[in-house]
Homo-oligomer: A and B are copies of this chain.
């Protein structure tokens, strides 16, 4: 099945306690597409870049099965640029630079052959852009997942909620789920968010794993304790890419399969953080993924 992703394609400069990387390849959609490419051979990308974006990066995406007809290239302008520094515990980061550049006037246009994509992943962007993409779909995708963040809750809550009403899966972190619902208990938060429309709530907790809520059920995917963690940038997007890529591949949106997708997403994210930028994500061998999936299984296995 085909997976359509909308999201940022960007340059990142990153400092962590374990090193730094200057103006490297980043962006939510970049991570999503790369992660999903290990599962899904037919992807469509909607995003925007300047003429400073390396042609070989577009070629590399194409080779991974990502159609880039929907990737607008704005001549004479620069790509979105973000610089940030992580604090000691990696759980908090300070933004040093945000140069929107081409993103400031981004108006997503879906090529005709994108409009019947089976699965849709809305990376974190303004709710207007996310909504504009949904509205351009000729047929309703089998599953729409949407990532967002507290910033949009602060500055565009009405549009955000209007967009949330249109999706099946919402992915946010625990703090954001609490902010959006006004409930401390994540069980109660999930119930309130389901009332808005989504059938599934994924709560991303970074190094603490991820929760999947559906009806009265809940599933937890742990994060694997890793020997090396260098850079958490893109981990949430990589998780979403693995999750949606697996769903598009298996074309099964039952709760049981979403649980598996959550594990695949977590496994992909565990690779992402081991190196800066896409460095680790570009070269995952099937046997490495299989080994990691076994480690996830063992991590929570016990007999009572």
Contact = CB atoms under 8 A, between A and B. Distances in A.
A58 interface: no
A50 B302 CA distance: 43
A301 B219 CA distance: 8
A301 B221 CA distance: 9
A18 interface: yes
A221 B229 CA distance: 21
A45 B260 CA distance: 46
Contact of A184 (B187, B218, B229, B304): B229
A185 B227 contact: yes
Interface in A1-36: 17-18
A141 interface: no
Q: How many identical subunits does the complex contain?
A: 2
Interface residues of A, number: 39
B220 A222 contact: yes
Interface in A177-225: 178, 184-188, 205, 208-209, 211, 213, 218-222, 225
Contacts of A293: 304
A256 B185 contact: no
The 4 closest A-B CB pairs, nearest first, are: A208-B208, A300-B300, A259-B302, A220-B222
Given A187-B225, A205-B208, A263-B304, 19 more contacts: A90-B184, A184-B229, A185-B227, A185-B228, A185-B229, A187-B227, A188-B227, A209-B209, A213-B225, A220-B225, A220-B299, A221-B300, A222-B222, A222-B300, A256-B302, A256-B303, A259-B302, A260-B302, A293-B304
